[in-house]
C-alpha cells in the first residue's frame, strides 16, 4: 500500500511557538507595572510587591512554557531521527471524533493500539481533529509512528 505523510513532528519544529509568545504580552504589562506604575492609576498597582510579582510571574511562565515546548519538540524530532519509536499499520477502528465545539479528545485504535489527542492540547505530536479539518476517518488505512505514551510523531495515510 502507498502512503502519504500528512504529519511529521520533525518537519514542524516548534510549531507551537505561539503558546509561550502570549506570555510576552504579560511580560510587557509587568514591565509597565514595575517601571511605569503611574501609567496605570490604580490603587493595587501602587504596591511594589504586586508589581514585581506580576513581572516575575509573567517572565517565569513564559520561560517555563517556552522551555517545555522546545523540549517536547526536541524529544519528538530526536525520537524520529534515532528510530526510538514504534510503528503500527492498519485501518482506523473505534473512531470517536471530537465534537466541533467541545474540548474532548478524539480517539481511535489501529491494530489494538489506542490513540487520543485534541486540538486544545499543546504538543509536538499530531493533534488535528477531524472536526477541525484533520485527516483521520473511520476505516482509513494508516501507518503511525508513535512514542510509547501514544504521542503520534508521524502520520501517514493511504492514497
- Kindly give the interhelix angle for 48-82 and 18-35, rounded to the nearest 10 degrees: 160
Q: What is the CATH number of domain 3-10+85-158?
A: 2.40.50
pLDDT tens for each residue of the chain, 159 residues long: 899 999 999 998 778 888 899 999 999 988 888 887 776 666 656 677 888 898 999 999 999 999 999 999 999 999 999 999 999 999 999 999 988 776 789 999 999 999 999 988 899 999 999 988 999 999 999 999 999 889 999 999 998
Contact present, 123 and 65 (Cβ < 8 Å): no
C-alpha cell recorded at residue 91: 485501518
| CB-CB neighbours of 60 under 10 Å | 12
Quote the CA–CA distance of 80 and 64 in Å, as a whole number: 24
Domain boundaries, the chain: 3-10+85-158, 13-82
- pTM, entire model: 0.82
pLDDT digits (tens, 9 = 90+) for 130-148: 988 999 999 999 999 999 8
Amino acid at each position: 500500500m502507498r502512503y502519504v505523510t500528512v504529519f511529521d513532528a520533525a518537519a514542524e519544529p516548534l510549531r507551537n511557538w505561539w503558546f509561550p509568545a502570549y506570555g510576552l504580552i504579560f511580560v510587557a504589562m509587568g514591565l509597565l507595572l514595575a517601571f511605569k506604575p503611574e501609567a496605570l492609576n490604580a490603587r493595587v498597582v501602587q504596591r511594589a510587591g504586586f508589581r514585581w510579582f506580576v513581572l516575575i510571574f509573567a517572565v517565569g511562565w513564559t520561560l517555563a512554557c517556552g522551555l517545555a515546548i522546545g523540549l517536547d519538540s526536541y524529544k519528538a524530532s530526536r525520537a524520529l531521527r534515532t528510530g526510538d519509536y514504534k510503528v503500527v499499520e492498519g485501518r482506523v477502528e473505534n473512531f470517536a471524533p471530537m465534537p466541533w465545539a467541545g474540548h474532548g479528545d478524539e480517539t481511535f485504535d489501529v491494530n489494538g493500539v489506542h490513540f487520543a489527542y485534541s486540538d486544545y492540547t499543546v504538543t509536538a505530536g499530531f493533534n488535528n481533529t477531524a472536526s477541525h479539518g484533520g485527516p483521520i476517518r473511520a476505516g482509513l488505512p494508516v501507518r503511525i509512528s508513535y512514542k510509547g505514551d501514544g504521542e503520534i510523531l508521524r502520520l501517514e495515510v493511504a492514497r
